[in-house]
Structure 1
Amino acid sequence: MHLDDVVRASAELTATRSRKAKTAILAELLNAAPPGELAAAVAFLTGRPTQGRIGIGWRTLAELRGEPAARPELTVTDVDTALGEVAATSGSGSARRRAEVLGTLFARATPAEQEFLFRLLTGELRQGALEGVMVDGVAAATGVPVELVRRAFMLSGSLPATAGAAVAGGAPALRAFRLELGRPIRPMLASPAESLDDALAELGDVVVEYKMDGARIQVHRDGDDVRVYTRTLREVTKHVGELADLVRELPCRSVVLDGETLALTDDGRPRPFQETMSRFGSTREEQVRELLLRPYFFDCLHLDGTDLLDAPLRDRNTALRDVAGEHVTPGETQPADPAALLDASLDAGHEGVMVKDLDAPYAAGRRGRAWLKVKPSHTLDLVVLAAEWGHGRRTGYLSNLHLGARDPDGGPPIMVGKTFKGLTDELLAWQTERFPELERRRDDWTVYLRPELVVEIELDGVQTSTRYPGGVALRFARVLRYRPDKQAADADTIDAVRAMLRG
């Protein structure tokens, strides 16, 4: 398969907002891809080369582009092989060799192919929302049920591997995927509820738990081997030794636990979220001593050889309490006074409560309605699209943020508003230093960014608006914090923003 086929499919995906049309485009390409090139084609279209990040910077790539080829001749295999060589090259002279390989690759690429490769290697194609459409495309191309594709992707964590299995072995190959100790799965996500009463009315039998302002963790134990992963499936075991030691002492042989971790003050209240997150990148002994992390587990996905993903939450909760004991997130099943639980959570310094359907299985990687979050204030996780240079005392700083909601059909984020409120002097300085690293282009007033950073925004609500392409605008938006634990694919969708109109 020629790279040009992938480039043209990518352009067609960008040109349409119809999920049905996107699915058809992907299905056609997947049907045309030879088995040996399928994985790479899927990886390219979802913005993640099979090798992952290859460690080449924006400026280096810009210098390597050079004169393009007149006609398309590159194949998907040519590109995948070249990127594999770049990723494997290390040691003395590696920078020169990597530049030679990429320079040759760019010289063989047409202008459109050069642009595609540049965006692929700089991360600008990394549209996580497109993964959902790719799941539909794999199902359409192979004739297998979309739920089977989604489940296999959940368990494998790899769309290329999932697509390859679907093409090679159909439904039986997809059913063969299992939870594997040491291989993290995509976390189940919650949707917002307007109020506690609404959440309780929507679900049947429930457990109501504290919603903590911590960092999501997934812990795998196999004997004495313990591994800790973030919500983005990055392993952080070496940074959080106290968590690994704690799980190693639990009364089991093997377990997979889902939960959150927090750094607490001396009086047991949660420290700021940024302090908890700082531990995921540090092994300095003084910081570890000062910021010991405490885990709070709220789900058990595997216990002593038994996978529990398909079991109802009531059964997973029983297993959780048997194995995690005092480390279970505070909460009650069918509480007599849910409002008192909400008040207690807020009084303890947490965000609110989670209301969860006791009959629901673990729907990894999905934001459904089986888990509902109840918070006293409206917040959204949005993508930073650009920032304007400030005025007055903010002169010289990148200040006013352009905010976008995720397109659930895989398109670029959809702008829904701007804000400069809530930005501290520290955040202004950080933005001004960090944003140029993500710069796509700029004009006299604005620096436009690759859509990678997620920021948590507090707002009074939304209103209809013709000013922004999504038809809605944020009301009295203010910055709460940046979310380094989240990717653009984890941001709230435009549908979630529009749903706030009803509130």
Structure 2
Amino acid sequence: MERNPHHARWHRMHAFAALLDSLIYTRSRLAKLKLIAGYLRETPDPDRGWAMAALTGDLDLPGVKPALIRALIEERVDPVLFRMSRDYVGDTAETVALLWPAPVVPPEAAEPLTVAGAVDRLRHLSRADAPAELARMLDRLDAEERFALLKMATGGLRIGVSARLAKTALADAFELDLDRIEELWHALKPPYAPLFAWIEGQGDEPTAEDVPVFRPFMLAHGLEDARVDLADYAAEWKWDGIRVQIVHVAGQTRLYSRTGDDVTGSFPDVAAAFAEAGAVDGELLVRGEAQGGTLEDGGGAASFNALQQRLGRKTVSAKMLAEYPAFVRLYDILVDGTEDVRALPWTERRARLEAFVPRLDPDRFDLSQVIAAADFTELEAIRAGARDAAIEGVMLKRRDSPYVGGRRVGLWYKWKRDPLTADCVMMYAQRGNGRRSSYYSDYTFGCWTEEGELAPVGKAYSGITDEELKMLDRFVRNHTLNRFGPVREVEKTLVLEIAFDSVHASTRHKSGVAMRFPRIARIRLDKPAAEADRLATLQKLVT
């Protein structure tokens, strides 16, 4: 179809479909920004607002679930054909869009479907009515539009665009301050009509007053091989949890993740305990068994594995709250009462934070302590000895630094502890997603038990170059022993050196252990599989 931006269809679903299609095949961040910005400038309300909701993950259509989509396509094509195609393509929405039978009425002859029209219908459907209505919409769309509709409906775009990137494109499109967009975002609801009205000079600037809004996190650069003067920088532990921002305004409390997602529902115990007006930055952790431990040696924080039991849950049972009690170790203060203190230097904000923390529930909040080190050499020794399960490394913060969103050179540094490594044997491989959907790029690997068998200890897909990916893909295809749906079992001959941050006990894994942040450090073509590491070696590292 000719892509004429003045054609009516190009201001509707097809324009959004074309945007998604272009974004999928564009790797350049700058090019992605230009594509989204152009779409937002050319597309009328409320379509562009709903498109932004889809791109930022703020679109919720509870009536449409992946199981519903699978059921619809398996009524129309051979289920075996669909499943084999899905395994090859690597994406359900793309597979269904391509396999869906040609509509009786050609898409160009049907009444154009707008993004807003599709969202409005799907938002108000019950689960009982959703299948028939979704099928009717798919019947009047072409393949590109079907793909866009299904991606939008399920809420999982997976097109290489983060919420931050989409908001950056919005700011670029209309020459706005990104931090201001971030602060306003959570005070507004899709399709963000007041925001676009203000952008185009047709309304007043939306206000975030009396709304617990998100403020962009201050981030750190890696320290690498540099050294800093501790007269200029304060050092504190980098805790291994989830960075959160807690905001309390006008009787409302919200918890936000680093990406600006509202995670209050997953941690109602923490939200209920925070009733002081203000906004703070800290690390969300779970209490460990060492309740009496000091802050310097971990302060009773359990490993990240314990925190994972509560992540992503929309509702949390009383049992879960009791078994995995959450708390926040506070790093910084952004708003003290009603006063925005982000422009103050770190030393003044630290004094404010030290005065603020005692007013909070000590079972839910404590203060991340500054590491006492006379100089950088002493700090190196302290860091080298840190193997607590909850410690990920060291943070270095310039004492005169304001709190500014994003990464600013010279202000904050993260100095992560050196990773652990193990030589493991590839056991299984699975196709990836997105641009890796044609390659076997997700690898399960194991270590040897005392009985001489391989036990799976982790799964990794990162750390390799494109050339190494192609080499591993060839190995999988040429050394397959068995197929289990999308998974291939391979000959146990290839050794991968795996880097990881820590090892935790796990009842979900047959080996009894799970790695934290496993990634492929090297492909060990030089090492026989029999010389890979033993499971007992990893068990000794369990924290």
Is the shorter-chain TM-score for this pair beyond 0.5, marking a shared fold? Answer: yes
Which moved further from structure 2: 261-270 or 127-136? 127-136
Q: CA deviation at 1:238?
A: 6.9
Deviations 1:182-203 (A, max 9, x none): 33445444343325xx2627x9
Which moved further from structure 2: 270-279 or 328-337? 328-337
> Pick from 385, 403, 413: which aligns with 1:372?
413
- Give the match for residue 476 of structure 1: 497
1:263 aligns with 2:287: yes
- Contact preservation (8 Å) 1:254, 1:305: yes
- Contact preservation (8 Å) 1:3, 1:74: no
Deviations 1:74-124 (A, max 9, x none): 656x332332333233xxxx3232223222221221122112212232344
Deviations 1:408-443 (A, max 9, x none): xxx889999764346899xx9999xxxxxxxxxxxx
* Aligned-partner residue type, residue 354 of structure 1: M
Structure 1 residues 292, 156: closer, same or farther in 2, change over 3 A? same
- Contact preservation (8 Å) 1:298, 1:329: yes
Structure 1 residues 317, 402: closer, same or farther in 2, change over 3 A? farther
- Give the match for residue 301 of structure 1: 334
- Give the match for residue 228 of structure 2: 200
1:113 aligns with 2:140: no
| In 2, Cα distance between equivalents of 1:363 and 1:257 | 14
**Structure 1 vs Structure 2 CA RMSD:** 4.7
Structure 2 residues not aligned, in runs of 5+: 1-10, 74-99, 294-299, 450-454, 472-494, 505-516, 522-543
- Contact preservation (8 Å) 2:277, 2:338: yes
- Give the match for residue 26 of structure 2: 16
- Contact preservation (8 Å) 1:190, 1:372: yes
- Give the match for residue 370 of structure 2: 331
> Pick from 62, 65, 68: which aligns with 1:60?
68
Larger Rg over CA atoms = 2
Aligned residues: 416
* Aligned-partner residue type, residue 476 of structure 1: E
| In 1, Cα distance between equivalents of 2:50 and 2:252 | 32
> Pick from 204, 220, 225: which aligns with 2:247?
220
Q: CA deviation at 1:34?
A: 1.9
- Contact preservation (8 Å) 2:56, 2:163: no
| In 1, Cα distance between equivalents of 2:412 and 2:209 | 21
Structure 1 residues 172, 2: closer, same or farther in 2, change over 3 A? closer
Q: CA deviation at 1:467?
A: 2.9
- Give the match for residue 15 of structure 2: 5
| In 1, Cα distance between equivalents of 2:140 and 2:155 | 21
TM-score normalised by the chain length of structure 1: 0.66
- Give the match for residue 3 of structure 2: none
TM-score normalised by the chain length of structure 2: 0.62
| In 2, Cα distance between equivalents of 1:415 and 1:190 | 34
Structure 1 residues 476, 170: closer, same or farther in 2, change over 3 A? farther
Q: Could you tell me the percent identity over the aligned residues? A: 19
- Give the match for residue 83 of structure 1: 119
Structure 1 residues 121, 295: closer, same or farther in 2, change over 3 A? same
Structure 1 residues not aligned, in runs of 5+: 381-389, 392-398, 432-454, 484-491, 498-503
| In 1, Cα distance between equivalents of 2:221 and 2:189 | 24
| In 2, Cα distance between equivalents of 1:172 and 1:412 | 44
Q: CA deviation at 1:363?
A: 3.9
Q: CA deviation at 1:219?
A: 1.9
> Pick from 178, 186, 194: which aligns with 1:149?
178
Q: Which has the higher helix share?
A: 1
* Aligned-partner residue type, residue 117 of structure 2: T
Deviations 1:356-380 (A, max 9, x none): 233444344x355543221222499
| In 2, Cα distance between equivalents of 1:316 and 1:416 | 49
- Contact preservation (8 Å) 1:228, 1:244: yes
* Aligned-partner residue type, residue 156 of structure 1: W
Q: CA deviation at 1:344?
A: 6.7
Q: CA deviation at 1:164?
A: 6.6
| In 1, Cα distance between equivalents of 2:62 and 2:502 | 29
| In 2, Cα distance between equivalents of 1:205 and 1:403 | 45
- Contact preservation (8 Å) 1:263, 1:270: yes
| In 2, Cα distance between equivalents of 1:424 and 1:299 | 45
SS in 1 for 2:467: coil
> Pick from 109, 112, 130: which aligns with 1:98?
130
Which moved further from structure 2: 157-166 or 15-24? 157-166
Which moved further from structure 2: 122-131 or 350-359? 122-131
| In 2, Cα distance between equivalents of 1:163 and 1:482 | 48
> Pick from 19, 25, 42: which aligns with 1:32?
42
Q: CA deviation at 1:298?
A: 0.3
| In 2, Cα distance between equivalents of 1:314 and 1:416 | 50
| In 2, Cα distance between equivalents of 1:284 and 1:98 | 29
Structure 1 residues 24, 478: closer, same or farther in 2, change over 3 A? closer
Which moved further from structure 2: 415-424 or 115-124? 415-424
